[in-house]
């Protein structure tokens, strides 16, 4: 295809496609970074039509950055999202997916070549990915305070629930992990607790906050039945067997229902992750504290605050 016919093809395509008016341009030369990427892309892909599609996406992106007075080397994921949201507004889902892919590959190239300092490519995701997920829910500080203060610490049952809720809310532990804790796992002098069995198969020593230590001691002294079992949490009816995962879930659920909260035990775990994020802890540290196998699992917990998640990962402010 000659330059003249190529230009004619572009003009005919523009008339028939759904590109927003402000992004419709003839095929002029793009800035150096764009042209270098297109040359690289042409060496990898033989289809001229595919290359033409990439050029259209990058041309639109270049126009957006110019009109917004944004330097390519200082782009943020928020600006990328804003561009795609506007550029894709008239397209079908299949075309939107192609545009995202085109821009994602370009961003990956820019990062690899040192044009941008952060790898934004993994954050260019489709809206359906979030729309089809079940966003984690959490309790606000006043709701947590109400939940804890509603327990009667003069009876064994509430002392047990109080200690269990501390382990969920302040350490992010799962009900199963809590049900397996033994007296030997609690290191009071070191203010640590050893979690032997985790979903990521990596045992961990976690720090114990002072209030959590007090809650555990109060339960051991005033609520835990005398038993030869070394498991921390026991049933209160003879023969005082160790509690199971379902028991822990039920204790916390009953407390929540008593406070008219339509929530589950995992809301406390979600709240732990959210609190960690807001306090400035890195998402990688949160992953280890939560006992996740992959970073993707941690991101799902934090998707309710996507801006905060980006601030932690990308050092961006909103």
Domain boundaries of the chain, sorted by first residue? 3-131, 141-314
123 pLDDT band, cuts 50/70/90, is confident
Q: How confident is the model at residue 12 (pLDDT cuts 50, 70, 90)?
A: very low
Mean pLDDT of 161-174: 94
pLDDT band of residue 310 (cuts 50, 70, 90) is low
pLDDT digits (tens, 9 = 90+) for 259-295: 998 888 888 888 888 787 777 777 778 777 778 777 7
Angle between helices 93-112 and 32-44 (to 10 degrees): 110
Weakest mean pLDDT among 111-120, 151-160, 296-305: 296-305
Query: Residue 65 and residue 79: Cα distance in Å, rounded?
Result: 9
Portion of the chain with pLDDT greater than 90, in percent? 48
Give the right CATH number for 141-314 from 1.20.1260.10, 1.25.40.340, 3.40.50.970, 1.10.443.10: 1.10.443.10
May I ask the CATH class of domain 3-131? mainly alpha
d(CA 302, CA 288): 14
Sign of the dihedral through C-alpha 61, 303, 111, 107: negative
* Residue range 235-244, pLDDT digits in tens: 999 999 999 9
Look at residue 274 in the predicted model and tell me its pLDDT.
79
Q: Report helix, strand and coil shares of the chain as percent, to nearest 5.
A: 60, 5, 35
User: What pLDDT does 181 receive?
Assistant: 96
Q: At 135, is the pLDDT very low, low, confident or very high (cuts 50, 70, 90)?
A: low
| Sequence-distant contacts of 204-208: CB under 8 A, at least 24 apart | 204/288, 204/291, 206/171, 206/289, 208/171
The pLDDT value recorded for residue 112 is 92
Distance of alpha carbon 18 from alpha carbon 7, whole angstroms: 18
User: Taking 80 as the threshold, does the pLDDT of residue 170 lie above it?
Assistant: yes
Asked whether the predicted pLDDT for residue 304 surpasses 60, the reply is no
pLDDT confidence bin for 9, thresholds 50/70/90: very low
């Amino acid at each position: 295809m000659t330059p003249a016919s190529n230009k004619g093809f572009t003009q005919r395509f523009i008339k028939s496609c759904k590109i927003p008016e402000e992004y419709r341009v003839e095929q002029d030369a793009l800035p150096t970074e764009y042209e270098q990427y297109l040359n690289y892309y042409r060496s990898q892909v033989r289809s001229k039509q595919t290359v033409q599609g990439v050029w259209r996406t990058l041309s639109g992106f270049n126009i957006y950055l110019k009109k917004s007075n944004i330097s390519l080397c200082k782009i943020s994921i928020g600006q990328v999202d804003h561009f795609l949201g506007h550029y894709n507004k008239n397209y079908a889902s299949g075309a939107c997916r192609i545009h995202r892919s085109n821009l994602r590959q370009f961003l990956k190239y820019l990062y690899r070549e040192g044009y941008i300092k952060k790898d934004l490519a993994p954050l260019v995701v489709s809206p359906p990915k979030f729309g089809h997920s079940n966003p984690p829910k959490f309790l606000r500080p006043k709701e947590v305070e109400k939940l804890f203060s509603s327990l009667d610490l003069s009876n064994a049952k509430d002392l047990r629930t109080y200690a269990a809720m501390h382990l969920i809310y302040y350490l992010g532990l799962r009900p199963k992990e809590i049900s397996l804790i033994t007296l030997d796992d609690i290191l009071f002098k070191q203010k640590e607790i050893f979690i032997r069995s985790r979903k990521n198969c990596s045992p961990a020593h976690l720090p114990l906050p002072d209030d959590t230590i007090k809650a555990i001691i109060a339960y051991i002294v005033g609520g835990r039945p005398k038993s030869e079992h070394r498991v921390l949490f026991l049933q209160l009816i003879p023969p005082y067997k160790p509690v199971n995962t379902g028991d822990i879930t039920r204790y916390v659920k009953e407390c929540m229902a008593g406070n008219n909260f339509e929530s589950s035990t995992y809301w406390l775990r979600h709240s732990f992750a959210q609190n960690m994020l807001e306090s400035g802890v890195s998402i990688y540290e949160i992953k280890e504290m939560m006992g996740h196998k992959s970073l993707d699992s941690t991101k799902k917990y934090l998707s309710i605050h996507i801006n905060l998640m980006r601030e932690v990962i990308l050092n961006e402010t909103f």
